[in-house]
Structure 1
Amino acid sequence: MEDDGRISFHGPTSLFQLPSGIPQEDLNPVKSTQELDGRKERLINNAWRERAFEQLATIPEPFHYLLDSHWCWIHPLFNFVYRPAFTRDMKMNGPYYSDVLLNAILSHSLRWCKSEPKISRLLDPYDGGTQFFNRAVDGLYESLKQGNGQIPIVQSLLLLSAQECGRGNRTQAWLYSGMAFRLVEDLGITIDSRKYSGSVQFSDEDVEIRNRLFWSCYFWDKLVSLYFGRSPIIQDTPVSPPQILLDDTAEIEIWTPHGVVFPEGTHYPPTQAHSTSCFMRMCSLSEILNQIIIHIYDPVRQSTETQILNCVHEQGENLEKWWTELPSFLKLIVNDLPAYCPPSHIVTLNCIYHITNILLHRPMLCSKPFRSLENAADNAKHLVQCLSSATSIISLYDLYRRTFGDSHVVLSLAYSLYTASSIFLLEIQALKYASASTLEKLRYCIVALERVRSANPVINTALGLVEKELQKLHINILAPIHPDPQPTSSRLPPQSSQDTSRSDHQQPQHQQPTLQSPSNYTLPPHGAFSITPPPFTEQNSDTSFTMDPSLLNPSELSQEHMYDIAPELFEAFSYVEPMPTNVGQGGFDTGWPSSGS
């Protein structure tokens, strides 16, 4: 505790404290368990009470609409803001609320809401919402100038980082996130508040908020590092806060897709949110992703072949264990998808799992030193894992799009499409052959990315990378695609002097792989929700791109016998270079362009 009342963390070498004894850890398990149960009960009671007060509060528009959008589409997966404390302190001007944070939430929500008829006209007095962003940035700079590094400032920085990330403003996004991570360390949030005794006595709510904020930062650190192809900053240590959320009231709340207008006579069935378990599983998945980024994709650290192989083996086991232990209510199996899409954060969780799976196995396809006839079975596994996850991403996204439309797609979901497209491009490059099935999947990814780039302009860069590769391959992805009568047709021109012959790699043949519009597709059978949904018409049915109906219900994509793979195929893959994991073009922006809403 500083003399001015601020909370700050300093190590024993700092100028701000004299050396002291080693912190004593409370090792009494009985006492710890009893304290944990008591804290949990108090937090849950407080959360329900504040939610009841929130329902009674009158918040004017457009603020109420934009806040509800945040609680629906962003909060369950990212958990930047602890809702009970924020809504309470918004009325009382307490420590967990600030005008900067409110404006950051409003500005971030505008990415998806500003075109909705119910809200667009209400934004006119605020310059279409631009004022929210300007107020957030101006207030943030004023707070930082005064050294006001409180938790709402950290949360504001995270939201501004996410907003600038979606815009494609790499410098701003990187700096905002970096300041947030530095502040988290300055506030001692990287240290378990209950594990070590200190000069500050935190309340139950303080500890809960600090734990949530640490793991929110940990997760966001991995995503922003992935997007920009850079090194993660925040690491889990023996003294880090535990992956425990005592307030699990969000687990049993009913989730409804805010802002989505369903056709007359249809509705979204009552669906449990499972927000708490989803966030915790996302945190544990982030730990696996962290190891993959560090040992395989870190642009600074040069791992040896042995280190990379060890990482692939260890994290492959960890990822398989994570998937096996994922609760059934969070796990989406592509050959048994529900009629209605589950909550958006659950879909995003599954897509990030498939991103992680692809990023783990993809280097093994494209690195010649790892190829050997002795490892033929492992080679087949890497290819099957990549193709299966890429196809699964399309299936999951199509379920999402047919239920919610494409106006609330977060960047991590769009990034999964980009990652899937990289695998289909690799397949075409390696085989020097573009099958109708692969082209259709690739075209689906491209058109889907085109449709969501208004909310995520950074996707323009990703689309540019894909388009550049297609030009090299002399492929017009928008040309009509006709099913191949024989899998040996539609060869591409040679790409290099090393002419690698195509293997007998084929996907399972369907009787008539005809292509049809998703608007004509019959929804999968009911199987996930507690009530039978009414007849349903997809959102945004004016879409013009097509979809292979067999793609939406693939049969056991994870089975290794799905593909008949010859060893020569892996040799072909070793001669191609995958697209970068980052959606930027490297380096920092040179300027700070003006930002709108």
Structure 2
Amino acid sequence: MGEVGENLVESIPPKRAKNAVAGELRCIQWDVSCQYSGTEDGRRPASKTYVLLLRQRIESLEKLLDKHGINSMDHGFQLPGNNLDSFMVNDKLDEASSAMDSLCESLKGQLSLDESLNFDKDGEMRYFGPTSGRLGFQGLPSSSRNPDISQNNPQPDAALGSIDDYLGLAVPSPVIDEIPISLQNELINLYFTWEQPWYPIVDETLFRESMSSSGRYWTPLLHYSILALGSRYSDSLEVRSDPTDPNSAGQKLLTRAKSLLHLEMEHPTLVTIQALGVIGMVYFAIGKDAAGWLHHGMADRLCLDMGLNMDPAGFAGTVTISARETRLRRQIYWTLYCHDKLSATYTGRICSMLDQQGAVELPSEMDESKDNTETPVEIRRAVIPLQRALIGICQITEKILLSVWGPKPLVKGTERPQFFESSLLALTSWFYDLSQQLRIDRPNPVPQAYTLHMIYHTTKILLAKPFLMDPGYCDSADAKNDTVEKARTVCRDSAKTICVVAQKYCRTFGNFRRSPISAMHCTLSAARAILEEPDCPSKLNQLRICLAVLDGLSRSWHPARHIANGLRKLCPMLPSEVSPESGNVSAVDLDIQDLTQNPSEVCGAFSDEAIPELHNILWTDLAPWSQLPDDYGYFDLLNQATWDRAW
């Protein structure tokens, strides 16, 4: 092409230059002259409406193929009878929902207060399925009318009384009154602002209403549990049992909660499940993972005991459940479901709450006649959309865990590459469907939205890792190389993007002091993926960001300190540990300046030499633009103006 051709390529915008270079190679291959136009061609991503129409068309064609007994996923390389049914079962559950509805109708159990089924006789509805054999007893005369039988029935402990008496206290516990009201309000507000939107096991409106009237959705146990977890987000020395130890925050309140839990476990209610979930998070926060796992396990079992895995609408004709309690039951179930997936990846253990074991509608918004909440309105409005989005990605995570990470993986051999591709497509579709209020192309006032994006990229790493660990299942060397290279690219790009999301979070909120605990495992996953990359300047910068995130998290979540120390031992070249108690926040957390100040701060600058500048990470020894994650390129989840100026 000569000098003219070089000038033409240089005149093309940098984002399109890579395409021009590729075109030049093709011209040389076919021995033709190259001609380029410097004008913008106006190409943009397809509209969302168009994509949805395509999806509907594809689904209708797949149903037509299935109707005629043709496997729509069969690309001709599976052995006869060895198709992808092993991991398509969950995908087809939605399509077969109408058939399942009629089947479940005949197998449906019962939520019951009737003592002929519910032998506890404690006033709480409990679920019994058809295999229990008890359903035929419903409606029979009460056994308590028989004096001979009633004499043999054990009586509840008189000191405890009934759960109704316990919940019907006229005034709050005098022990709670010993805690200053101002401190209680601060801790409750911290809980509902920073923790509850990510782990919404408690409904803020119901809790605050019941707290003021000692209603059924408030108990001293739940109150103390929330105060204990809220203490982890507080800098007040009053919440510490040892003023010099930040990890002692909330431990006195946890001790009070444990003493009340012992009593309430005699007569568990929905509020008991909520308290168990909150207490479990407190245990995780102070570094007692086993105790946290135990308490969440108890919450999961009570969830089944009270039929939370069955949608309340199915019992409308047999029991009376208010619309608010219906919403609460769904919210509790899905919160525990998501936590099961997040804790399974955090600990490397199996899932215990499977999607196929429940039939519950997704949480929905409800118009409240009076709003007594104090959480910022932007966060409050995002709680349900955030939970629905988290449910979606946790369902994908469950399939990945069962298919390639389980003790007996559902997907084996040559099916794995196709599972890899289909799961990547599912993740991309999930990402595409995110609502605007959960995107982070511009500063988002909802801190948990950033955590959601970190979870998304961590899930991609979780999907790709097995293909780097054991690629021997591929049919050919070429297929093996292609799959391994794609998996490596997914891991690399996802790890780098987690660092970018962390920087955007710090630009908005300063540091990770009050971030949900899930950011800890995301950061560890990114760091491990970065460690496996070849040494380069950007690698050290990215690891420093990971350590800054972990150091910020360690104030609220003690395990983050252990993880940070472990990473430093793996990388002696990294800075020595910086104590969050030193008060030098800039030495630990990121301080990104306003992007509009000057061109040198296009992507943010940091206040300390130990923390890397964002532009070092973005264009020091990185892959070209074409290899950056499509999610942030096409859907503008990194500020488009920033990228334009950067190039």
Give the Cα–Cα distance (whole angstroms) in 1 for the partners of residues 589 and 320 of structure 2. 57
Superposition pairs of residues 555-574 of structure 1, within 5 angstroms:
560-561=626-627
Structure of higher CA gyration radius = 2
Residue 392 in structure 1 maps to residue 520 in structure 2: no
Residue 321 in structure 1 maps to residue 422 in structure 2: no
User: 1:544 offset after TM fit, Å?
Assistant: 5.9
Q: 2:237 aligns with which of 120, 123, 145?
A: 120
Per the alignment, residue 529 of structure 2 pairs with 423
In the alignment, structure 1 segments of 5+ residues that lack a partner are: 21-58, 259-269, 429-433, 480-515, 527-534, 564-597
Give the Cα–Cα distance (whole angstroms) in 2 for the partners of residues 421 and 331 of structure 1. 24
Where 1:112 maps in the other structure, the secondary structure is coil
CA contact (8 A) 2:225 2:254 kept: yes
CA contact (8 A) 1:518 1:547 kept: no
Per the alignment, residue 243 of structure 1 pairs with 362
Per the alignment, residue 182 of structure 1 pairs with 301
Per the alignment, residue 543 of structure 2 pairs with 442
Per the alignment, residue 446 of structure 2 pairs with 343
Q: Which amino acid aligns with 1:18?
A: G
Per the alignment, residue 261 of structure 1 pairs with none
Structure with greater helix share of residues: 2
Q: 1:191 to 1:150 in 2, by over 3 A?
A: same
User: 1:347 offset after TM fit, Å?
Assistant: 0.7
Residue 80 in structure 1 maps to residue 201 in structure 2: yes
Q: 1:165 aligns with which of 277, 281, 284?
A: 284
Per the alignment, residue 231 of structure 2 pairs with 110
Q: Which amino acid aligns with 1:178?
A: G
User: 1:464 offset after TM fit, Å?
Assistant: 4.9
Q: 1:456 to 1:558 in 2, by over 3 A?
A: farther
Q: 1:304 to 1:517 in 2, by over 3 A?
A: closer
- CA deviation digits over 1:272-327, x for unaligned, max 9? 85232122111111111111122222346575234544532332221111011112
Give the Cα–Cα distance (whole angstroms) in 2 for the partners of residues 209 and 190 of structure 1. 12
Q: Which amino acid aligns with 1:415?
A: H
Per the alignment, residue 549 of structure 1 pairs with 614
Q: 2:328 aligns with which of 192, 209, 218?
A: 209
Q: 1:14 to 1:84 in 2, by over 3 A?
A: same
Where 1:9 maps in the other structure, the secondary structure is strand
Give the Cα–Cα distance (whole angstroms) in 1 for the partners of residues 624 and 394 of structure 2. 22
Per the alignment, residue 89 of structure 1 pairs with 210
Give the Cα–Cα distance (whole angstroms) in 2 for the partners of residues 427 and 544 of structure 1. 23
User: 1:248 offset after TM fit, Å?
Assistant: 6.5
CA contact (8 A) 1:12 1:18 kept: no
User: 1:140 offset after TM fit, Å?
Assistant: 0.9
Give the Cα–Cα distance (whole angstroms) in 2 for the partners of residues 120 and 302 of structure 1. 51
Q: 1:359 to 1:248 in 2, by over 3 A?
A: farther
Per the alignment, residue 136 of structure 1 pairs with 257
Superposition pairs of residues 189-228 of structure 1, within 5 angstroms:
189-197=308-316, 199-228=318-347
Residue 356 in structure 1 maps to residue 459 in structure 2: yes
Q: 1:246 to 1:323 in 2, by over 3 A?
A: same
User: 1:112 offset after TM fit, Å?
Assistant: 1.6
User: 1:257 offset after TM fit, Å?
Assistant: 7.7
CA contact (8 A) 1:393 1:417 kept: yes
Where 2:198 maps in the other structure, the secondary structure is helix
Superposition pairs of residues 464-475 of structure 1, within 5 angstroms:
464-470=565-571, 475=572
Q: 1:437 to 1:124 in 2, by over 3 A?
A: closer
CA contact (8 A) 1:106 1:132 kept: yes
User: 1:385 offset after TM fit, Å?
Assistant: 1.9
Where 2:197 maps in the other structure, the secondary structure is helix
User: 1:183 offset after TM fit, Å?
Assistant: 0.3
Per the alignment, residue 62 of structure 1 pairs with 183
Give the Cα–Cα distance (whole angstroms) in 2 for the partners of residues 396 and 254 of structure 1. 29
Q: Which amino acid aligns with 1:110?
A: S
- CA deviation digits over 1:195-234, x for unaligned, max 9? 3455322111111110111111111111111111111111
Per the alignment, residue 478 of structure 1 pairs with 575
- CA deviation digits over 1:218-271, x for unaligned, max 9? 111111111111111112238511113132679x9999789xxxxxxxxxxx88
CA contact (8 A) 1:398 1:552 kept: no
Residue 280 in structure 1 maps to residue 377 in structure 2: no
Q: Which amino acid aligns with 1:6?
A: E
Per the alignment, residue 129 of structure 2 pairs with 11
Q: 1:330 to 1:111 in 2, by over 3 A?
A: same
User: 1:60 offset after TM fit, Å?
Assistant: 1.8
Q: 1:91 to 1:517 in 2, by over 3 A?
A: closer
- CA deviation digits over 1:372-429, x for unaligned, max 9? 323544443322222221111111112222332232122111221111101111114x
Give the Cα–Cα distance (whole angstroms) in 2 for the partners of residues 331 and 249 of structure 1. 26
Number of equivalent positions: 448
Per the alignment, residue 34 of structure 1 pairs with none
Superposition pairs of residues 447-526 of structure 1, within 5 angstroms:
447-470=548-571, 475-478=572-575, 522-525=593-596
Q: Identical aligned pairs, as a percentage?
A: 20
Q: 1:414 to 1:257 in 2, by over 3 A?
A: farther
Give the Cα–Cα distance (whole angstroms) in 2 for the partners of residues 104 and 254 of structure 1. 19
Q: 1:521 to 1:378 in 2, by over 3 A?
A: same
Per the alignment, residue 566 of structure 1 pairs with none
Give the Cα–Cα distance (whole angstroms) in 1 for the partners of residues 592 and 198 of structure 2. 30
Per the alignment, residue 515 of structure 2 pairs with 409
Give the Cα–Cα distance (whole angstroms) in 1 for the partners of residues 239 and 525 of structure 2. 37
Give the Cα–Cα distance (whole angstroms) in 2 for the partners of residues 551 and 18 of structure 1. 70
Q: Which amino acid aligns with 1:477?
A: L
Q: 1:249 to 1:394 in 2, by over 3 A?
A: farther
Q: Which amino acid aligns with 2:470?
A: S
CA contact (8 A) 2:308 2:330 kept: yes
In the alignment, structure 2 segments of 5+ residues that lack a partner are: 1-111, 116-120, 139-179, 577-586, 630-647
Give the Cα–Cα distance (whole angstroms) in 1 for the partners of residues 262 and 420 of structure 2. 43
Q: Which amino acid aligns with 2:361?
A: P
Shifted more, 280-289 versus 167-176: the winner is 167-176
Q: 1:519 to 1:367 in 2, by over 3 A?
A: closer
Q: 1:543 to 1:105 in 2, by over 3 A?
A: farther
Q: 1:304 to 1:200 in 2, by over 3 A?
A: same
Q: 1:271 to 1:12 in 2, by over 3 A?
A: closer
Where 1:202 maps in the other structure, the secondary structure is coil
Per the alignment, residue 108 of structure 2 pairs with none
Q: TM-score with structure 1 length normalisation? A: 0.67
CA RMSD after TM alignment: 3.8
User: 1:435 offset after TM fit, Å?
Assistant: 0.9
CA contact (8 A) 1:61 1:122 kept: no
- CA deviation digits over 1:439-465, x for unaligned, max 9? 221122124313322321212443354
CA contact (8 A) 2:340 2:351 kept: yes
Q: 1:202 to 1:17 in 2, by over 3 A?
A: same
Give the Cα–Cα distance (whole angstroms) in 2 for the partners of residues 220 and 443 of structure 1. 28
Q: Which has the higher contact order (CA 8 A, sep 6+)?
A: 1
Per the alignment, residue 397 of structure 2 pairs with 289
Give the Cα–Cα distance (whole angstroms) in 2 for the partners of residues 520 and 174 of structure 1. 35
- CA deviation digits over 1:165-217, x for unaligned, max 9? 23331220111010000000000111011034553221111111101111111
